[in-house]
């Protein structure tokens, strides 16, 4: 493994590029026709255009990516997050062509991507799961299981993930109305119309555990992360470790995450997600890729998780055991998105003007933005990940507040002020968190 094609864009493409440089690997960037001036393209020693702006014809095109590997001689491919990062098809095609896919093998991706199959597998390993139904063939079958489980319930796409494909149903009438719509949405979004029901927890914590496994049977965890502050199931603020959880509960979560990864035959960096209610927790899903929020775990462990992925992909052993991993301090991350809170968080496009960017002790900014950059409507609205670190949570929180104030750009609307409101809120400062936090802060009409 000597040359890595980075099958992504934005800040994660830059992170992979830098990790390749540190590992002595050659990196190849890819870009769509409208991103010729992107920062990861400028920084890469080699870059290839893979198609026009629409993702389906560029970043989501497996033939385009394979052609890029062929013309550049890339012998590995790192998918980053989003796009094709959890595509079993891409992993299979890479394997067939002798290209190392930096991630778990195709069978693991297939299993982790099927929420019902993954849930059944980890339950067999003793990991707690929420009561729910099997795959549902019809609204009639859904209503029958719903009567057994009791409302409210979540109607979920079996192939969903990342907060997508989820609807709350509170009555039989609502379930009957939502079922065909959710089924069609799942068919369009995931090419898989299967739905299932799961018990709905109204105000849980969303806690996840970072795991890392090599090809030699070694697996470790990098502690907990809290991703409770969300909007419509999309994470906005993440921190590590998860605040306010008893040490014994954190140990149980970590042990369950390792068991889940072992049960799924996991290799590489992945995240096991849980809902936590009181002293109880329940498996949600396994994210078989690098997570957007991975930097907060890096800050605590002092290692580069992208480099760890590359090392595992090269066939190296982890080289350290669980008792050699020490977690220090506290870290927070805020996602700064190009979206307009005054317009229902609609995406915002335009030319960026940078007035002030944060820095200093305990402040990290992962971003691909630059002066005069055009924010386009084709891709994810993430502009930057602002990360702060402190000896304890309050120090990290205060640094985040100061760093957010110094994050000053114009040309597009952003959610920065909403993040400031969250970080300054007394409930957030006290660690009183639940997945409906943002709705309580500013109820939507």
Q: With DSSP H G I counted as helix, E B as strand and the rest as coil, what are the percentages for the chain, rounded to 5? A: 35, 25, 35
Bridge-based pairing of strands 195-199 and 268-277 is unpaired
Asked whether the beta carbons of 261 and 270 are under 8 A apart, the reply is yes
CA nearest to 345, candidates 416, 264, 273: 416
406 is known as an active-site residue:
no
Q: Which helix (H) or strand (E) holds 69?
A: helix 62-72
- Closest among 252, 260, 258 to 281, alpha carbons compared: 252
Question: Which of 121, 289, 311, 335 is the catalytic position?
Answer: 289
Dig out the tokens for 165 from the structure: 């494909």
90, 79 Cβ separation under 8 angstroms: yes
> Using an 8 Å Cβ cutoff, are 77 and 99 in contact?
yes
Strand partners, 132: 198
CA–CA dist 49, 33 (Å, integer): 6
Q: Among residues 236, 208, 207, which one has the least CA distance to residue 384? A: 236
The 3-state DSSP class for residue 138 equals coil
Q: Which residues are catalytic?
A: 289
């Amino acid at each position: 493994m000597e040359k890595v094609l980075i099958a992504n864009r934005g800040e994660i493409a830059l992170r992979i590029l830098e990790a390749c440089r540190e590992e002595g690997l050659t990196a190849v960037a890819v870009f769509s026709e409208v991103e010729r001036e992107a920062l990861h393209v400028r920084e890469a020693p080699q870059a290839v255009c893979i198609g026009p702006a629409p993702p389906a014809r560029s970043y989501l095109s497996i033939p385009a990516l394979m052609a890029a590997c062929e013309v550049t001689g890339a012998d590995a491919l790192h998918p980053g997050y989003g796009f094709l990062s959890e595509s079993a098809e891409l992993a299979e095609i890479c394997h067939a062509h002798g290209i190392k896919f930096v991630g778990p093998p195709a069978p693991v991706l297939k299993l982790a991507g099927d929420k019902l199959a993954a849930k059944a597998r980890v339950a067999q390993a003793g990991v707690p799961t929420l009561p729910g139904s099997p795959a549902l063939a019809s609204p009639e079958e859904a209503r029958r299981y719903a009567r057994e489980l009791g409302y409210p319930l979540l109607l979920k796409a079996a192939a969903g993930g990342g907060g997508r494909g989820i609807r709350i149903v509170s009555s039989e009438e609502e379930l009957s109305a939502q079922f065909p719509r959710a089924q069609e949405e799942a068919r369009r979004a995931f090419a898989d119309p299967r739905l299932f029901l799961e018990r709905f927890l109204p105000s849980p914590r969303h806690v996840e555990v970072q795991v890392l496994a090599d090809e030699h049977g070694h697996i470790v965890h990098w502690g907990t992360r809290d991703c409770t502050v969300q909007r419509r199931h999309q994470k906005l603020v993440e921190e590590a470790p998860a605040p306010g959880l008893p040490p014994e509960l954190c140990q149980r979560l970590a042990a369950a995450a390792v068991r889940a990864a072992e049960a799924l035959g996991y290799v590489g960096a992945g995240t096991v997600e849980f809902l936590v209610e009181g002293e109880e927790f329940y498996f949600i899903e396994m994210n078989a890729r690098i997570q957007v929020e991975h930097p907060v775990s890096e800050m605590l462990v002092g290692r580069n998780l992208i480099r760890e992925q590359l090392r595992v992909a090269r066939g190296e052993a982890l080289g350290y055991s669980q008792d050699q991993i020490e977690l220090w301090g506290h870290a927070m991350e805020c996602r700064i998105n190009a979206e307009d809170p005054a317009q229902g968080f609609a995406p915002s496009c335009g030319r960026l003007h940078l007035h002030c960017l944060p820095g200093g002790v305990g402040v990290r900014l992962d971003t691909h933005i630059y002066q005069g950059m055009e924010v386009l409507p084709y891709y994810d609205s993430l502009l930057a990940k602002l990360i702060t670190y402190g000896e304890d949570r309050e120090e990290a929180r205060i640094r985040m507040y100061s760093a957010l104030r110094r994050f000053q750009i114009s040309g597009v609307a952003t959610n920065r002020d909403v993040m400031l409101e969250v970080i300054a809120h007394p409930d957030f400062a006290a660690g009183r968190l639940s997945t409906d936090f943002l709705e309580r802060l500013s109820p939507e009409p």
